Amino acid sequence: MDLATTNLIDFDVAGLNQLMSELGESSYRTTQLIKWIHQLGIVNFDEMTNLSKVFRQRLAVETEIRFPEIVSHQESADGTIKWLVRVDSGNCVETVFIPENDRGTLCVSSQIGCPLDCRFCATATQGFNRNLNIGEIIGQVWLAARHLGQTPKRVRRITNVVMMGMGEPLLNFDNVVGAMRLMMDDNAYNLARKRVTLSTAGHVPGIDKLRQTCPVSLAVSLHAPNDTLRDVLVPINRKHPLESLMDACRRYADANPQDQITFEYVMLKGVNDAPSLAKDLVRLLHRIPAKVNLIPFNAFDGTEYECSSRDDIDNFRNQLVRSGIVTITRKTRGDDIDAACGQLVGKVQAKSARRRAQTDLEKTL
């Protein structure tokens, strides 16, 4: 390994253990470094006082601690904060913090753009450039924690992390899982498993792999209760149709019987909000411990869709509730700064690069 360019935040616990071994150091150095970097926010080796002076000097020569850079931040009237985060010279992603009375939720991106082309999502209009590495994912959490003044001695500001930002997390599986394990590590961000949520548009092999390796809370971007409509709204459905997706969700639920799976359903006027579709949704979710989040559609420039009326949303929700499905209508947060669900766009490199990368990634779908 070329240590001259080694960035310590690019490693999860296993990777950092391996690096320490290559440096001839004991594995307890991993715990020390993770505490300094992620729990305490220290990036200057000289301040890591429980490391020997010789080891600190070696780290300073052979490695670095370099995080993504906040280019700008905007704060909504409702307190939501959106950061534009530069991850390389040509690309930025967006990260959103949503404060509530009893929690603070950080929405983290996993890819630069997104290859899935969901028609109601602004991120899809940006195309796709590449996956984020572990450091670029966990770096969003580090930056937000520092910006919010979070330290071990202060009240925790970030109580939940949702992998619901730009990108399809299960198409960047290893890096996302590595970052989530750091989020849950006692020596880093110490989040409980139930407080880390991964949202997928329905990549079935990824759901099964997640169940076996890192069973965090699962959310599924559903948006339609039949294949005909979902093929249009969520094109990954053509590869992984609803029958296989629901089977994967049942397997996930069976392995984690204490959990509910959250199904996200954006409300599109005259498209997916009919009472008959609510009945279809009830049938679809049969035998799955489900919670449904109805999401009022958040408009963006160039979209062909409109948000369902409040009455139609309420009627849809009431049908689900009467059938025994826990259902809430998600409160729209941060829409005045384009930070609401489906509005994240970031800054993605030239279209030619996006098209090449998207073609390569589609082979894995």
User: Residues with catalytic annotation?
Assistant: 94, 341
Nearest 5 degrees, angle CA 161-CA 166-CA 247? 75
What crossing angle do the helices spanning 173-184 and 204-213 adopt, rounded to 10°?
A: 30
Largest distance between two CA atoms of the chain: 70
In terms of Cβ atoms closer than 10 Å to its own Cβ (0-12, 13-18, 19+), residue 180 is buried
Alpha carbon distance 279, 258 (integer Å): 26
Alpha helices in 286-350, H assignment, sequence order: 310-322
CB 343 within 8 A of CB 86: no
**Among 336, 65, 24, 40, residue whose Cα is nearest residue 188:** 40
The pair of three-digit structure tokens given for residue 242, joined into one six-digit string:
């609803």
**Among 4, 2, 13, 10, residue whose Cα is nearest residue 133:** 10
Neighbours of 87 (CB within 10 A): 24
Element (H, E) at 228: helix 227-233
In sequence order, what are the beta bridge partners of 267?
296
Beta-sheet strand order (sheet of 290-296):
69-75, 81-88, 91-99, 104-107, 160-163, 196-200, 217-221, 261-267, 290-296, 326-329
